[in-house]
Structure 1
Amino acid sequence: MAGFMNSPALRGAGLVILQALRVATVITLLTAGAASWILIINVQKSKPYFIFECFTLFFVSVFCSLLVVSELAFMEFIKIYLRRMWPVLSDHHGLSWLGIGMIIIGCNLLGMLNHDLDMSSALSSLVLAAGILSFIFGFLNFVCSFIWCDRKEGITSRDIRANGSLARSQRQYSEYGGSSRSASIRNEKTRSKFMFWKSEKDEEYMSGQAQSHPPYIITHHVRDIEAQSDSPIIPGLKRPDTALHPMNSRSSRSSRYSEANMSRF
C-alpha cells in the first residue's frame, strides 16, 4: 500500500467500497452459475463430443459455487476448511485470486456464445450479461486487492473489508486452536515472510527445538578444589577428599553385625 493509503479515512472508505463490491460479486457469481446450467441445457446434443462441453460448464458452475462460499464464509468451520484446502480464497489472503477466477469464468461464458446454440434472445442476453459482469467485477477485485492492502503489516484487502481502519492481520491468530506456543511460532513464521534476515536465535525458536546443552562433567580440577575446601562445621579444618568417602570405597564394610552363637535353651 502506498503511503497515503495508510490513513484511517481511506481504510474506512475501503470497507464501504469492498463490501459493496462483495455484494456485486456474489450476485455476479450466482448469475454465472445459472448461465452455466442454461448453456448445459442448450448444448447441441448432436455433436459427438458434447458431453465434454457439458462437463466443462458443470465445473464452471461448481467453481462459481466455491467462490460464493468463500465470499459468504461467516461460520468458523467454513473458514477453517478454506484455510486448509483453499488458502488463496480464505480470509488470510486478498482478493486477487478471486478476481482471476472471475475473469476466467467470464471469458469461458463469453466464448460459449461463439457456438451455435438454440436459445432464445432472453437467455442469450442473460449469458452475455453474466460473462461481461464476471469479467468486469473480476478485474475490479483484482485491482482493489492491490489498492487496499499493506504488505509491510501483513494486512490484506479482506482484512480491510472486514474491519476498515481497525484492520489487523488475521494470520497472527491461531488457525486450528492450538496452544499459545504453537500460535507464537506461526506468528514468527508469518513475520519471517517479510524479513530478509534471521538470526540464529530466531531460527532456533521457529524450529521449536531448544538447543541441547551437554551434561555437566566433574573434572579432576573441580574435585581438587572440592577437596581443598574447609569444613562447614569447624573453620580452618580441611575436609577430607571426597574419594575417601565410604560410599566411594569398594572395600568391604568395616563393621559387620553378627548374631551370637548361643543356644536358645
Structure 2
Amino acid sequence: MTRKGKARRPDATGRSLTSRFVRLDHRLLRSNAYRGLYPNARALLVELAMLDNGSNNGSLYLSVRDAAHRMGIADLTAASRAFDELAEMGFIEMTQEGHFNIKASEKSRARCWRLTWLTGPGRKQPTWEMLEREPAPQTKARKRMERGLRALKAHRKDRDLGRLPVLDCDTLAAFPPILAPDPVWQFNTPNSRSGSIPPKWLVRDSATHIAIPWGRRTDSLIGWWQPDWSPQIAALAYASALTLFRWSEAA
C-alpha cells in the first residue's frame, strides 16, 4: 500500500484524515428560529460553520464582502442583513468588533464570530440560544416559520404511518418490458427468392386489409402488395340484389 493510501485510512477514532464535514444538529434544523430564517441567512450559517475546525470557534473571522462572495450574492446589504438575522435569532455571537487600522499597515479586520451550538473558546459550553427564540408575530419570518413547521409535521406523520410520497409515487412503478422488435427475416413482406425463412403473415391482423384467400382460397393472402377487391365486390352484390328486389315489386 502506498503512503497516499495510508493517509486516506481513518484513524483509531474512526475520523477521516483527509475529509472534513460540517455538523448541523437536528435540534437546530427543527427549531422555530431556523424555520424562520431567510435563505440568505441559512446559506451564511453554513459558510460560518465551514470556518470552524474544532478548536477555533469564537475566532471565526468573516467580513460582509467575503460572506457575500461565498454565498454567491452581489448585494452587500443582503449579506449584512443575514449576519444580523443570525445574531438576532441566537445562532451566532460576535466576539470581537471589526476595525480598520490606518496608522499601522492599513489593513482591515473583519468581525469575529462564535457559533452558539458548538463549544467556544476556553471550553465554553454551547448556549443553544436559538432554541429559546422565534420570529415576532405578524411578520414574514413568522409566516415562513409556521409553513416550515407544518411541512415538518406532515413529513413526520407520513413517515410514521409508512406513507411517504416517495413510496406511493406512481412514477416508481415498474415499467413494462420493452418488446424487442422482430428480426428482419420475420418482417411482414412477401418472401423473396433468397432462400430465407418464410415471413410471418401479420397482415391478417390489420384493420385495413382483410386476410381472405384469393382464387381457390389456398394460394395466398391479401396484403398490401395486392389489391383487396372485397369492398367493391360487396358493393356490386348489394346493388344487384337491390335491383332484383325492385324488379320483383314492379312485376
TM-score range (shorter-chain normalised) is: under 0.3
- Which structure is higher in helix share? 1
Structure of higher RCO (CA pairs closer than 8 Å, 6+ residues apart): 1
**Structure with larger Rg:** 2
- Normalised TM-score (structure 1): 0.23
- Normalised TM-score (structure 2): 0.24
- Which structure is higher in strand share? 2
